[in-house]
């Protein structure tokens, strides 16, 4: 008997979390070995390791408690990695030396697998005086480009994909350039961007007042607040960025407001952190705690939940002592405050199991009740730890109990803290759980609604072929197992059928009892009006959310799943519909490469790179498939022998990808996004970040000229439809890891539903 509820769960475990030797030999033979490894590692700091190893194993067993991915993959392996998910780095000094010291710290942190967040508001604006050198400042965005290149360099060195968050205050003189920075699809690809929005700014927006943009006491510009707000809204409407962080609300609610100021978050926004703060994350799997699912008496077992929360808090507190830290400042920050972020996953599935419609008033009230219970039990467990092991070193009881969060806490919890102190300064946060939710059997992610009841995915086999398998939501599978083909009840809803206001309602209900913040994507229909879209953000502000991230599918951001007209049918009824929908697609998906015809049509392009003595000649040959022309192979020639080895390797790899078929436009996007740390060049009035980016641009222009691509930065001229159960599925962006077209915006992060790859790690 396997512990895995779905094949995809076992595949995710094997790819991401299973401990293996360098040659691929598994140390973890079974998933029980993984749970035992984690339990033993985190119990090693206890006075009675054997006792706590058993209790920790029980919490992990059957995916009831899910530590964050870095803990699951790294605990007990003795690898030189941090068990913390991500960090906010130190305050960036407004000096050249200080800036590059921060860059070095960022590189060291990312090298160990930590995502990072930075507030770039501390760097003087573009054009400001630089004293002593008779020059003008280049501004924060130019240094963000340097960070972006560094992140790519760390990736190319073999580390996991980097993730960074950049924030900027709404009153910084360069805020308008920051807002629109990612309208250039090749720029700042390694960053998520968010604007730090203050209460004063929101009041100015509502009053249609003016707004000063200033730095170091000097006013550089005065703008209309509503115009600036509209610019933020227009950019996120068109490009899904920047996000919005209500920074004053975060600082007023912070339990540690008496000893720290927050101005940045981790890459997905759920963990606002001070300089050198670290986020330590884990999730209670609510879908595993429902007794009698789909029956009249279905309910969360609150006793089991309370016990599980107490054990999870102890495990997470032990991570603070068991983990390595890239920097000493990060270790001290974690030790002094012992901040943890316990959250949930599978919430939407749990609501379905108790018969409640996600987004309804009833579901919002239930969510608030469940999360209050988790908050209470977390705080009481931390008080018990303080009795046994001591409170966090920077605790000032009077100041702590007077903060925004603690003023709302129940009197018995406040009294316990006043008497005994508390071990952990902050305890709750709702993190992105895209990958670990797949690992747990495809439960709904975090507090998100069910994304799709079912879909098909292509799985790469060892012989290079791909097989198809159905991936079913955890709650839907339980319904099928219990009721067969009986029609799904009306309360089964998914992310595409919900109104944006329902998403916000659920986020606001959860936020009330969450110390830190929430990673949540508010899905908006493509045809939502701009005014209605802006109202989503205003609703988030008015209802107490600490931030807001939306996703509206369009030609720039890519598509997500959309519900078909046949939503009244159950997933089991409609595989034939999905197969019929895929007929006639212009793109052929191959398990074996195309055979090369004797002759091919093609074009050769001359590429002259500045400061290079010899030009590069790029030839792209095409093949005709079903009457349509598509790229088949690439050759690069140059008299410059310096580039010979890498150009030959590059052309062979690109050609191998082209010959496999499918939408290969992602090759162009990856090449165009490569930054050369030595600097790019201006070519025909446009800045090209590297010679590889220039090659990508030439290939893209060829694809456009031959009709394979719609236009620059765009996808296929004629979209194929992927196979999907119960849903029509327009093509999303191709996954850079597995190549499948399953990239979807989940909890503010592009995530592949096929292989679990995530931009945010």
The reported pLDDT for the residue numbered 214 is 97
Report the C-alpha gap between 136 and 125 in whole angstroms.
Answer: 9
Cross-strand bridge partners of residue 192: 165
According to DSSP, the β-strands at 727-730 and 218-224 are: unpaired
> Residue 544 region, left (φ>0) first, then alpha (ψ -120 to 50), else beta?
left
Report the C-alpha gap between 620 and 668 in whole angstroms.
Answer: 13
Predicted model pTM: 0.78
Cα–Cα distance list, 187 to 42, 157, 341, 487 (Å)? 41, 21, 32, 47
H or E element: which one contains 380? helix 361-389
Report the C-alpha gap between 204 and 208 in whole angstroms.
Answer: 6
CB atoms within 10 A of CB 484: 9
Contact present, 262 and 273 (Cβ < 8 Å): yes
Report the C-alpha gap between 72 and 609 in whole angstroms.
Answer: 46
The DSSP code sequence of 691-739 is: HHHHHHHHHHHHHHHTTSBSSTT--BSS--EE--SSEEEE--PPPTTT-
Report the C-alpha gap between 734 and 709 in whole angstroms.
Answer: 14
Mean pLDDT by 10 residues, the chain (761 residues): 84 91 90 97 96 98 95 88 88 93 90 86 93 80 90 57 88 97 85 96 98 96 98 94 96 96 94 94 97 96 96 97 92 97 97 97 98 98 98 98 92 98 97 91 95 78 67 94 93 90 97 95 93 97 96 67 35 29 35 68 86 81 81 84 74 83 78 75 77 88 86 54 36 59 68 67 55
Give the closest residue to 541 by CA, choosing from 498, 511, 497, 496.
511
| Both tokens assigned to 606 | 């001359």
The DSSP code sequence of 216-250 is: TTEEEEEEEHHHHHHHHHHHHHHHS--EEEEHHHH
Report the C-alpha gap between 675 and 671 in whole angstroms.
Answer: 9
| Both tokens assigned to 418 | 């006043």
The DSSP code sequence of 580-611 is: HHTTT-SSPB-SSPPPPPS--EEEEEEE--TT
H or E element: which one contains 261? none
Q: Any idea which residues carry the catalytic annotation?
A: 266, 268, 270
Using CA atoms of 698, 703, 705, 708 in order, give the dihedral in degrees to the nearest 10. -170
- According to DSSP, residue 569 is labeled S
Give the closest residue to 518 by CA, choosing from 543, 551, 493, 549.
549
Sheet holding 65-67, edge to edge: 65-67, 281-285, 341-345
According to DSSP, the β-strands at 290-291 and 86-88 are: unpaired
Contact present, 498 and 360 (Cβ < 8 Å): no
The DSSP code sequence of 167-224 is: EEETTSTTHHHHHHGGGSTTSSTTEEEEEEE-HHHHHHHHHT-EEEEEETTEEEEEEE
Question: Dihedral of CA 308/310/313/314: which sign?
Answer: negative
Half-sphere exposure in the Cβ direction for 540 (13 Å, CA) = 27
H or E element: which one contains 29? none
CB atoms within 10 A of CB 58: 16
| Both tokens assigned to 222 | 């005065």
The reported pLDDT for the residue numbered 455 is 82
**φ and ψ at residue 587, rounded to 5 degrees:** -100, 130
The reported pLDDT for the residue numbered 713 is 63
Report the C-alpha gap between 483 and 446 in whole angstroms.
Answer: 26
Give the closest residue to 265 by CA, choosing from 193, 211, 215.
193
Report the C-alpha gap between 555 and 238 in whole angstroms.
Answer: 9
Tokens 């006792």: give the residue.
51
DSSP, collapsed to helix, strand or coil, labels residue 251 as: helix
Report the C-alpha gap between 33 and 57 in whole angstroms.
Answer: 10
In the chain, what are the domain boundaries? 12-82+275-420, 112-128+136-253, 601-705
Tokens 């507190």: give the residue.
317
Report the C-alpha gap between 637 and 127 in whole angstroms.
Answer: 42
Contact present, 289 and 300 (Cβ < 8 Å): yes
Contact present, 139 and 127 (Cβ < 8 Å): yes
Using CA atoms of 461, 467, 472, 473 in order, give the dihedral in degrees to the nearest 10. 40
Report the C-alpha gap between 440 and 176 in whole angstroms.
Answer: 42
The reported pLDDT for the residue numbered 581 is 27
| Both tokens assigned to 382 | 């931390």
Report the C-alpha gap between 428 and 516 in whole angstroms.
Answer: 6
According to DSSP, the β-strands at 164-169 and 628-638 are: unpaired
């Amino acid at each position: 008997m396997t512990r895995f509820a779905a094949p995809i769960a076992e595949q995710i475990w094997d790819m991401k979390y299973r401990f293996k030797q360098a040659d691929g030999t598994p140390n973890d033979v079974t998933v029980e070995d993984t749970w035992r490894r984690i339990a033993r590692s985190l119990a090693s700091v206890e006075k009675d390791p054997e006792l706590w190893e058993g209790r920790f194993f029980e919490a992990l067993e059957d995916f009831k408690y899910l530590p964050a991915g870095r803990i699951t993959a790294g605990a007990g392996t003795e690898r030189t990695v941090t068990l913390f998910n991500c960090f906010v780095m130190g305050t960036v000094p407004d000096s050249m030396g200080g800036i590059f010291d921060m860059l070095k710290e960022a590189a060291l942190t990312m090298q160990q697998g930590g995502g990072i967040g930075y507030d770039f508001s501390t760097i003087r604006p573009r054009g400001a005086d630089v004293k002593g050198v008779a020059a003008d400042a280049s501004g924060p965005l130019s240094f963000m480009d340097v960070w972006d290149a560094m992140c790519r360099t760390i990736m190319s060195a073999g580390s996991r994909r980097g993730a960074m968050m950049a924030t900027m205050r709404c009153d910084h003189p360069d805020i308008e350039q920051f807002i629109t920075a990612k309208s250039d699809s090749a720029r700042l690809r390694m960053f998520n961007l968010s604007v730090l929005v203050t209460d004063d700014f929101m009041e100015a927006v509502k009053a249609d007042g003016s707004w000063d943009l200033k730095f170091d006491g000097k006013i550089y510009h005065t703008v209309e607040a509503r115009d600036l707000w509209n610019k933020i809204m227009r950019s996120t409407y068109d490009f899904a960025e920047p996000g919005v962080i209500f920074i004053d609300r975060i600082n007023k609610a912070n339990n540690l407001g008496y000893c720290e100021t927050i101005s940045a978050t981790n890459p997905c926004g759920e963990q606002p952190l001070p300089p050198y703060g670290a986020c330590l994350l884990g999730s209670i799997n609510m879908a595993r705690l429902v007794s009698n699912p789909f029956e009249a008496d279905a309910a969360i077992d609150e006793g089991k939940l309370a016990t599980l929360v107490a054990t999870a808090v102890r495990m997470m507190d032990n991570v603070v002592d068991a983990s390595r830290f890239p920097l000493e400042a990060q270790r001290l920050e974690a030790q002094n405050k012992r901040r943890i972020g316990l959250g949930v996953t599978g919430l939407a599935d749990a609501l379905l199991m108790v018969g409640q419609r996600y987004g309804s008033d009833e579901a919002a009230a239930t969510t608030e009740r469940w999360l209050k219970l988790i908050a209470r039990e977390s705080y009481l467990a931390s008080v018990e730890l303080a009795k046994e092991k001591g409170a966090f070193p920077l605790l000032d009881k009077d100041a702590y109990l007077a903060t925004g969060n603690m003023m709302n806490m129940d009197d018995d919890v406040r009294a316990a803290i006043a008497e005994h102190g508390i071990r952990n300064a902050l305890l709750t946060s709702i993190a992105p759980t895209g990958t670990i939710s797949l690992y747990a059997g495809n439960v709904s992610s975090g507090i998100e609604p069910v994304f799709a009841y079912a879909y098909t995915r292509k799985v790469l086999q060892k012989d290079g072929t791909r097989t198809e398998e159905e991936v079913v939501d955890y709650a839907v599978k339980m319904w099928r197992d219990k009721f067969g083909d009986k029609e799904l009840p009306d309360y089964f809803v998914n992310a595409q059928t919900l109104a944006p206001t329902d998403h916000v309602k659920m986020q606001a209900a959860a936020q009330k009892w969450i110390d830190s913040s929430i990673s949540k994507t508010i899905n908006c229909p493509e045809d939502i009006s701009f005014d209605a879209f802006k109202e989503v953000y205003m609703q988030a502000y008015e209802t107490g959310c600490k931030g807001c991230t939306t996703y509206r599918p369009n030609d720039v951001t890519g598509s997500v799943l959309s519900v078909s007209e046949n939503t009244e049918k159950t997933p089991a009824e409609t595989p034939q519909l999905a197969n019929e929908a895929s007929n006639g697609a212009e793109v052929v998906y191959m398990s074996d490469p195309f055979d090369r015809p004797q002759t091919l049509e093609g074009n050769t392009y001359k590429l002259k790179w500045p400061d290079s003595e010899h030009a590069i000649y790029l030839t792209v040959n095409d093949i005709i498939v079903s009457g349509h022309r598509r790229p088949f192979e690439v050759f690069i020639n140059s008299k410059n022998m310096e580039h010979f080895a890498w150009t030959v390797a590059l052309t062979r790899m690109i050609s191998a990808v082209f010959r496999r078929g499918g939408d290969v436009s992602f090759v162009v996007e990856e090449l165009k996004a490569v930054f050369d740390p030595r600097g790019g060049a201006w070519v025909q009035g446009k800045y090209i970040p590297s010679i590889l980016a220039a090659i990508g641009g030439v290939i893209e222009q060829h694809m456009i000229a031959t009709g394979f691509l719609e236009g620059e930065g765009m996808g296929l001229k004629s979209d194929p439809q992927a196979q999907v159960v119960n849903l029509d599925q327009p093509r999303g962006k191709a996954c850079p890891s597995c190549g499948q077209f399953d990239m979807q915006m989940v909890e503010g992060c592009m995530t592949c539903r096929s292989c679990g790859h995530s931009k945010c790690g």
